[in-house]
Amino acid sequence: MTIFGSGYRALTYEPTSWLRRVWALAWLEMRGLFRTRWGTILFLVCQIPLIRSLFILTIWAGFWSFGGGGGPGLGRMSPEFSPEHPAFYLAPAMSESGFVFVLLLTTLVSARSIAKDRAARGLEILWTRGIGPGGYFFGKWLGSFALVGVGAVLGPLAMWVFAQSASPDESFAATSMEWLPRTVLALLFFTAALTGLATALSSMARSPNLASILWVVVVVGASAVARVFSRLFRGEPWVRALSPWDAAKRTAEEIAGVTPRIEFDPAVAVGAVLLYAALVLALARRKLRTEEAVG
């Protein structure tokens, strides 16, 4: 016969790697949206561009036809409508219609991620454990990157697999392998850059709502400014690069090797992206100092 004690147990454990610890945070961030029904619906709404692409793909594959136009006919309108062209895979994230949904998702996930913890003083709990501010930031970014990446990177990849299996011969596989790695890289870069910027901005706002507004203002506002300025300074490439969105897009298009919708010097775009990244990361670093976690 035994009466057992309080249940407190001394622990012996080999601490997990830094990456595993950070991943715990990222995994939570990634699932955050799905905790509520509205979040799940919202996520699905944000996948509309992907559904559109899927629809185009089925037409291309000949599942149904509209007045005999068929698949190849669509491709003649624009490379965006041809699964044989890398532009088709970039479209869900980077086209004009994709813009709205990616912006929505980053606004609701990435831009709020750090600000909501700060508002609830969660930083005090999280930073006094086995990660520092750097790990925390990385985890938060990784989570929203992975979430946005589901629609922006994994979706197009799945689309490619589907196109591959639907195409009658080997030629699609052979030709597409030439551009596919670069396209995926472009998508990864684009998603990483946008979620990174949004996460960094998130660390600067006091409340999640302010952070969301800040992010929208930065993206939409800078685009608008760039548009106005491009009228004033016709032909100056740096004007379009004023918008971080356009700069990231131009860089991604360069990586993928597709014809850009708005032509300007890729070097300027890359420079602008690097400049923005350096700027927001430096600001985020200042805002995420350990001294401020307690008290």
Partner 1 sequence: MIAVSLCDVTIRYGDFEAVAHVSADFPAGAVGLLGRNGAGKTSILKALLGLVRPTSGTLTISGVPEGATAVELRRHVGYMPEKDCFVPGLNGFETVRLAAELSGLPGREAARRAHEVLWLCDLGEQRYREVSGYSAGMRQKVKLATALVHDPMTLFLDEPTNGLDPDGRREMLELVEGLASSLGKSVVLSSHILPDVERVCRDVVVIDRGRVVASGPVAELTRASIRVLDLETGPVDELETVLRGAGAIEVEPNARGGVAVTLPESIATRDVFRAVAAAGGEVRRLVERRRTLAEVFLGAVRADEAGAPPAEGTE
Residues in contact with partner 1 by the rule CB under 8 A: 6-11, 13-16, 20-21, 24-25, 28, 32, 35, 116-117, 119-132, 290-291, 293-295
**Shortest spacing between CB 209 and partner 1, in angstroms:** 13
Euclidean distance between the first and final Cα of the chain, in Å? 49
**Shortest spacing between CB 135 and partner 1, in angstroms:** 8
**Shortest spacing between CB 151 and partner 1, in angstroms:** 21
Nearest residue (CB) to partner 1, 35 versus 76: 35
Nearest residue (CB) to partner 1, 281 versus 293: 293
**Shortest spacing between CB 119 and partner 1, in angstroms:** 7
Nearest residue (CB) to partner 1, 5 versus 168: 5
Nearest residue (CB) to partner 1, 115 versus 258: 115
Nearest residue (CB) to partner 1, 25 versus 87: 25
Contacts of 291 (CB under 8 A, 6+ apart): none
**Shortest spacing between CB 127 and partner 1, in angstroms:** 7
Nearest residue (CB) to partner 1, 135 versus 149: 135
**Shortest spacing between CB 203 and partner 1, in angstroms:** 15
